[in-house]
Every structure is written in structure tokens, then in C-alpha cells.
Structure 1
Amino acid sequence: MTEFSELLGVAVEAVSLATELVRRRLPGAVQEKDDRDMVSEVDLAVEHAVRELLSRRTPGFGFLGEEEGKSGDQSSELSWSLDPIDGTANFVHGIPLCATLGLVASGEPVLGVIDLPFLGARYTAIKKQGAYRDGKRITSRVPRGLDEAIIAIGDYAVGAQATEKNRVRMALTSQLAQRVQRIRMLGSAAIDLAWVAEGKLDASVMFANKPWDTSAGVVIAREAGAVVIDIDGTPHTSASVGTVAVAKPLAGELLDVIGGAEAKPFRDPGCPGSRTSSNALTHSKPVDPLGADDSTRHHDRTIHLTVSTRGDARLRSSAE
């Protein structure tokens, strides 16, 4: 069993730094990244500060930030993944948001911290050690059926080819509206996944899988008891097209609704895990949520590490 407890303190330190910057600064100048997509001065300031802190505290690790990309040792089995402000549009408009930081080992999220600066909540998880909000253990909710479920869906697309991407999302919205209790669109993948973990939401469906958005939330949701899979029901990995987190008993029923939307996975050039497909979503055999969840955990390695107060993190690993 891999132990990452020492690194949780480093992650919390980094997210606390991000939270302090977000709370005490206004968005400042906002730059356009793409059609209706933006980055604020605070996004950049948070990513700079967290990147610098982690480079000192864990110098042997890789780093991937949404705004400025990769740095550190990209050959390392361990890599941090950061969205400095997950929900920049929310932040710019004064809507509460979060900062999210995940640790990925050999392509699998193993540690996550999500902080909601203006809501006073922090979510943490380490693989095989449970999920917590502010130190209290949390578990996902299990409604009796979709008609009792509140389900979040990811934002509608903006930017290049948004019309084609949104065809899928609108079809799914229509299908879900006929089946579920309520639909929510919160504008933050990290909040969606954290609230599935806590039981505020019963599922989250995203036709995207950008690691800075999902890495922390994936491990938190899994450790709270939810199953996290791709939109076709296969185990969720860094190569997945989408991200679905759901209470295990509802997984098959929700996947049927996604399939009923007759959606075609669309390659998003900004999403490292995207792939193209010429076929509509189909589920040719029953989905076993327990099997899907367990099969995402077969890449375990024993990783031995030491973190000093000088930030000297050393690691060696061997396959279990």
C-alpha cells in the first residue's frame, strides 16, 4: 500500500496559499484566452505562487498548471496538477469558487485537496484512506433512483467548435430533464466532484477530462464511495473522454441516459485525454460499477518518499 500522508501536508500548505491570495485580491486585469474564455491576474498569481512553493517542497516532482503548463521533472512518477481557480468566470462575477490541487502517480490520482475559499470548506483525500471535509469523514449519497437524484452537468462549451460540442451537452440535458429530480450547472468541475463525495449531489457528468480540473476531485469522490468512470462506462483514467461520478447503484441507469442522448465523443484539443470516435455511445454489455471502480486501482506501486522541512522530497518506487 502506497503511503502519501506526508504529502497531504504539502498539498494543504499549497492550497492554503492559493486560498489566501484568492480571498484578499480582486480579479484584476482579465485577459481573453479564447472565445468567452478568460484568465485573471489572480489565476496567474496563484499558479506562480503554488508552482514556486511545490518546486521547493517537492523538487523531484512534475507539475502541470492550467495557465502555464508543465514544469518540474516530467519523467517523475509523481506530478502535481493545479487549477489555480476552478471557475474563473464565477470568480470574475463574484460567484463563490474553489482552488484545486491533485497529485497523480503513474497516471492515477492518489491525493487531492479542494478548497472553497468563500464557503469555508476544504475537501481532502488520499487513496485508500477515505475522503474528508474539514477533517470529518464524508460519504456519497445513494438515492433510490434517478427520480430522486440531483445531477450536475459540466459547463456548455465556449470557443472553437462550441456548437458541435454543445449538441452533445444539450441532448444530455434534455434526456436528464425527463428523468432526474433536478439538474445543476455550477461552473466548476472540482465543486461538482467534491459535492458528489459529500452527498450534496448524486452524480456529476462532464464531457471533459482536463487533469487540472478533475484529478483532485476524482480521488475525493472515489474515496467517499462514488464510482468514477468515463462516459462509456469504462474505468476513468487520464485518457478518458469524460468524467462521470455517481453513486454505484445508479451508474448503469445514468449511463443508459447518456447513451440515449446519442452523443458522439468530440475531441477537445485542450483536453489531454480526449479521443475521437465515429460511433454513438453504446453500452454493449452491462456495466459493473464495482468492477469499474476496482479496475482503476490496479496500477499500484510502492513509492517510498521523504519530505524534509527544506522541501527535499526524495522517492523511489517498485511495482507491487
Structure 2
Amino acid sequence: MRSAASLLNIAQTAVAIGVDLIKSSRPEYIQDKGDRDTVTEIDFEVERQIREYLQGATPEIGFLGEEEGVQAASGEAECFWTLDPVDGTANFVHGLPLCAVALALTCNSKAIVAVVATPFLDLHYSAAVGEGASVNGRPLKCSDTTELSKAIVSIGDYAVGENATDKNHKRIRLTTLLAENAERIRMFGSAAIDLVWVAEGRTDATVILSNKPWDTTAGVLIAREAGAIVVDVEGNPHTLESTATIAMTPALLDSLLPLVHAANLDGASG
């Protein structure tokens, strides 16, 4: 197995390919891939170019992309690169600058290295397990906020697609509870940004009532390496199999998690 530093350098080079493509392009072909869910030719091109680079640089490692799924490695891969080529496609299509390229390497279902970059904000986040996290070369540390009433909490997008109405009952309940208890609520439209901004201390917590690996894996490692706690709705350590992704500065766990429980009392899947 290569060193974490070597793999992180490869990941940073890969993400830079995507950043350059996004910054130099505007989407021309916007396709529906579900109810109120779109994809552009740039999503596919970023994924294709990063996949090709990684297959050349790390042929022994598999690849999972949001748009085209799993690509086999040269052998039996226990490690996979997981990529969201444009996290926040809706924002990107509408000219909003809140989107990101998110890449993580997992081995035996555990994240080893992660890179998240926001092309239009020039923020480049990275982490290696046990080595801490950084943004633009500066070490990251989550906030030291201790009271929910003084916390900015971001929430994941409302649901679209199948069973969206039932799923959004939970999200609306959560929004109401947070509105009554947190200082402010924000919705950025990118799970990767939600998580790295907790890591950076721009926000104090995020509650994402879903857990797609390409959306969350990179940001989860970066948040943890910056000192944040990342759990599921039951308060157990977040894993790739979790159904929700909740990250926060540690002192907020006891005040935030009960609100998430209250919003999920019907037990419906997110």
C-alpha cells in the first residue's frame, strides 16, 4: 500500500483537473436524471477525466463515481476512489458559486485520504487519516461553540424524487426545531461544503438526512480530522452504511442530537 502522503498528492492532482474544467466551462446540455434532479455534460467530463487520471496513477485501486458507477481495478480491489464530480450541480447550473469536487479514498470501507475543492471560492480542503486536515495549506480546527443558541447549523437539501413528500416531513420538522433553538439555519446545496465548513468552523454543525458515499465520504474525513464529531441519527459513529450524516463541534452533541431524534420519530427512511 502506498503512503498516505503519496495518495493525498494523487488525490489533489485529480481534483485539480476537475476544478480547472469547472472554472473554464459553462453547462450547455442539462439533462434530467430524476424528479428535479439534473446532470450536465460537465459532470460527466469531470468524472471521465479524473477517472482516467486515477486509473493511470493507481491502477490497483477501484473507482466509484456518482454519474457512471463502479469501474473495476486491475485486480481484486479492497480500496476505491469515490468521486462526486460536481457536488451541487443545481447551484452550478444556476450560476451559484456553492459547488465542489469531492474525492475520497476508502480501504475496507474506511476513508484514508480526502480532498474537497470549491472551484469558484478557491478553497482547497484535504485530509489524511490521523494526520489532520487543512484548507489552502492552513490547519483546520472546528469551532469551539458550546451552545446551540449560538450555533449556525446547515441542513441538507430537501428531498426530491420517490417518496419526497414523506421524507420532507422529517426535514420540515427538523427545520422547525432548529429555527426554535439554533442561532441561524443555512442550506448550501452541497453536502461536501456542509461538512468542510464544519471542519473549518465557518458553521458549527450540519444535519444531512441522507448518506450517498460520493456526497459525504470526503467531507466526513475532513471534518473528523479537524476535531468534529460525525454520527448517524442514533449517535453512533458515522459509517458508509449510515442513513444520515450529522457533523458538529463536540460540545453540541447533547443539544443537537435530541432535535434530530424528534424530527425522525416516524422512523421513515431519508
Q: Deviations over 1:240-298 (max 9, x none)?
A: 01000011111121111111224444446xxxxxxxxxxxxxxxxxxxxxxxxxxxxxx
Distance in 1 between the 2:129 and 2:54 partners? 20
Question: Residue in 2 aligned with 1:29?
Answer: 29
Whether 1:49 aligns to 2:49 is yes
1:1-320 alignment runs, 5 A limit: 3-73=3-73, 75-96=76-97, 97-267=99-269
Distance in 2 between the 1:265 and 1:102 partners? 30
- Alignment-mate amino acid for residue 220 of structure 2: V
CA contact (8 A) 1:79 1:105 kept: yes
Distance in 1 between the 2:229 and 2:266 partners? 22
Distance in 1 between the 2:131 and 2:50 partners? 25
- Alignment-mate amino acid for residue 254 of structure 2: G
Q: Deviations over 1:5-33 (max 9, x none)?
A: 10011101100000010000111200000
Distance in 2 between the 1:263 and 1:77 partners? 37
Distance apart, 1:98 and its partner CA: 1.0
Distance in 1 between the 2:268 and 2:113 partners? 29
Q: Which SS does the other structure have where 2:12 is aligned?
A: helix
Q: Which SS does the other structure have where 2:230 is aligned?
A: strand
Distance in 1 between the 2:52 and 2:153 partners? 37
CA contact (8 A) 1:226 1:247 kept: yes
TM-score (structure 2 length as normaliser): 0.96
CA contact (8 A) 1:211 1:238 kept: yes
Distance in 1 between the 2:141 and 2:265 partners? 31
Distance in 1 between the 2:24 and 2:208 partners? 31
Distance apart, 1:76 and its partner CA: 1.5
- Alignment-mate amino acid for residue 94 of structure 2: H
Q: 1:262 to 1:242 in 2, by over 3 A?
A: closer
- Choose 1 or 2 for highest CA Rg: 1
TM-score (structure 1 length as normaliser): 0.81
Report which stretch shifted further, 180-189 or 2-11.
2-11
CA contact (8 A) 1:151 1:201 kept: yes
Decide which structure has greater helix share.
2
Alignment length (residue pairs): 267
Report which stretch shifted further, 70-79 or 155-164.
70-79
Q: 1:17 to 1:262 in 2, by over 3 A?
A: closer
Deviation >4 Å, runs of 4+: none
Distance apart, 1:75 and its partner CA: 3.7
Distance in 1 between the 2:164 and 2:172 partners? 12
Distance in 2 between the 1:229 and 1:108 partners? 14
Distance in 2 between the 1:253 and 1:267 partners? 23
Give the gaps of 5 or more residues in structure 1.
269-320
Give the gaps of 5 or more residues in structure 2.
none
Distance apart, 1:209 and its partner CA: 0.7
- Alignment-mate amino acid for residue 31 of structure 2: Q
Q: Which SS does the other structure have where 2:51 is aligned?
A: helix
Distance in 2 between the 1:123 and 1:258 partners? 27
Q: Deviations over 1:135-184 (max 9, x none)?
A: 11010002120000000000001111100110110110011110000000
Distance in 2 between the 1:119 and 1:20 partners? 13
Q: Deviations over 1:219-247 (max 9, x none)?
A: 00000000111111011111101000011
